[in-house]
């Protein structure tokens, strides 16, 4: 129990751990009451095995939890790397736009400088009327300069238009990247939601399968334990324990010493499994009147029930029924068949072993 608790069984396998604690408490109670070695050792062994089962379940769940966390961390790292790459691409595009804007500003300054030069040349032309030939040559040169500057201005205008177009394209690309980021974030949220729903469904299915498996295993262990004491078989109603009529005095309901010993051992096993219900059913062969056989079957069932209650089985978990000769399991035409029909059966059921009334 201590090892299971250290392994976290009380958190990850609470039901199994609680069951082990209950078995241990049963063993300790039997020891305090000095019930005998078998009554102590059987629940003690079961407590140890159940605690080990809880420890293994807890370790498995912790391993699965760690693996799921590792997968989630990996996915988050991949998403962060993708976001960084997109941010770097957007920054590079913004830098290109800034550089293009600087080039456009420089060309505009050169154009303004050319305009100033043209104005200066025009003033010199007005003040140099006397030297017409020189001014004409200067005017032609200025005209040529103006034409060149005009061509440069037109080229600068074209560059500015191209820069504007590229800036608009970069803005559109940034908007597209922003939309893609939003879409990716929505997809990540959807995937996380799907993963959480799938994990919840998987946990629910695992818990249901684990519960059914534990019930089947417990029922099989209980059947084997009971079969050591008395013939026990499995049915849709539960585990059927058979007490033949040789455990009673002929025609009576008094239990022989051998029957009391077997029922005492049987009670020890049943007490180690809380939540069980026992239905005691009496049967007879066809010898004698129907009313006599009916009363005998009921009396024998009540005798077995009373003994089980004295052994510590809760009275509200034990019921009785008498069927007389109405439910034979063999032919009443032979002595062997009649002996099989003279019996008391204990139907053991309960949610803990997957069989309910």
Show the tokens assigned to 170. Answer: 């970069």
The percentage of the chain sitting over the pLDDT mark of 70, rounded to a whole number, equals: 99
Average pLDDT over residues 223-244: 92
Least confident segment among 84-98, 128-142, 257-271: 128-142
Is the pLDDT at 95 greater than 70, yes or no?
yes
Is the pLDDT at 131 greater than 70, yes or no?
yes
Using only C-alpha atoms, the chain has a radius of gyration, in whole angstroms, of 48
Q: What is the overall mean pLDDT for the chain?
A: 88
pLDDT tens readout for residues 4-41: 999 898 888 889 999 999 999 999 999 999 888 888 99
- The gap between the terminal CA atoms of the chain, to the nearest Å, is 33
pLDDT tens readout for residues 133-150: 786 788 888 788 878 888
Average pLDDT over residues 262-285: 94
Q: What is the pLDDT of residue 191?
A: 85
User: How far is residue 254 CA from its own chain's centroid?
Assistant: 54
Q: What is the pLDDT of residue 243?
A: 87
- Residue 330 has φ and ψ, to the nearest 5°, of -150, 175
Q: What is the pLDDT of residue 251?
A: 79
User: How far is residue 37 CA from its own chain's centroid?
Assistant: 41
- The SS3 call for residue 286 is coil
The domain covering 230-353 belongs, at the CATH homologous superfamily level, to OmpA-like domain (3.30.1330.60)
Strand arrangement of the beta sheet that strand 277-283 belongs to:
232-235, 238-244, 343-349, 277-283, 318-322
Candidates 319, 322, 309; CA nearest to 266 is 309
Task: Name the region of 243 (left: φ>0; alpha: ψ -120 to 50; beta: rest).
Answer: beta
Whether the pTM exceeds 0.75: the reply is no
Dihedral angle computed from the Cα positions of residues 239, 244, 247 and 252, in that order, rounded to the nearest 10 degrees: 110
Average pLDDT over residues 151-173: 82
Is the pLDDT at 311 greater than 90, yes or no?
yes
- Residue 183 has φ and ψ, to the nearest 5°, of -65, -40
Domain locations in the chain as residue ranges: 1-213, 230-353
């Amino acid at each position: 129990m201590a090892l299971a608790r250290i392994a976290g069984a009380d958190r990850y396998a609470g039901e199994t751990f609680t069951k082990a604690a209950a078995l241990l408490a049963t063993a300790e109670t039997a020891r305090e009451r000095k019930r005998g070695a078998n009554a102590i050792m059987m629940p003690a062994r079961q407590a140890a095995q159940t605690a080990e089962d809880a420890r293994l379940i807890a370790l498995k769940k912790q391993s699965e939890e760690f693996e799921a966390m590792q997968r989630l961390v990996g996915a988050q790292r991949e998403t962060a790397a993708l976001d960084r790459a997109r941010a770097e691409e957007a920054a590079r595009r913004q830098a290109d736009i800034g550089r293009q804007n600087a080039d456009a500003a420089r060309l505009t300054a050169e154009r303004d400088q050319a305009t100033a030069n043209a104005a200066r040349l025009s003033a010199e032309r007005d003040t140099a009327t006397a030297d017409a030939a020189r001014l004409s040559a200067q005017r032609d040169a200025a005209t040529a300069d103006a034409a060149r500057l005009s061509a440069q201005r037109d080229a600068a205008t074209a560059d500015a238009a191209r820069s504007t177009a590229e800036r608009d394209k970069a803005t559109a690309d940034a908007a597209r990247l922003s939309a893609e980021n939003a879409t990716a974030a929505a997809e990540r949220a959807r995937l996380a939601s799907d993963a959480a729903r799938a994990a919840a469904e998987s946990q629910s299915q695992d818990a249901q399968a684990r519960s059914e498996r534990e019930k089947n295993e417990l029922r099989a262990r209980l059947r084997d334990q009971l079969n050591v004491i008395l013939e026990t078989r499995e049915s849709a109603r539960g585990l059927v324990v058979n007490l033949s009529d040789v455990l009673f005095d002929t025609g009576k309901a008094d239990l022989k010493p051998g029957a009391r010993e077997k029922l005492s051992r049987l009670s020890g096993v049943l007490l180690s499994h809380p939540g069980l219900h026992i239905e005691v059913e009496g049967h007879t062969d066809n010898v004698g009147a129907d009313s006599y056989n009916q009363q005998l079957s009921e009396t024998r069932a009540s005798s077995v029930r009373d003994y089980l209650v004295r052994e510590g089985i809760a009275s509200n978990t034990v019921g009785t029924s008498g069927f007389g000769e109405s439910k034979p399991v063999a032919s009443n035409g032979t002595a062997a068949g009649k002996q099989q029909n003279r019996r008391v059966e204990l139907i053991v059921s309960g949610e803990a072993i997957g069989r309910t009334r």
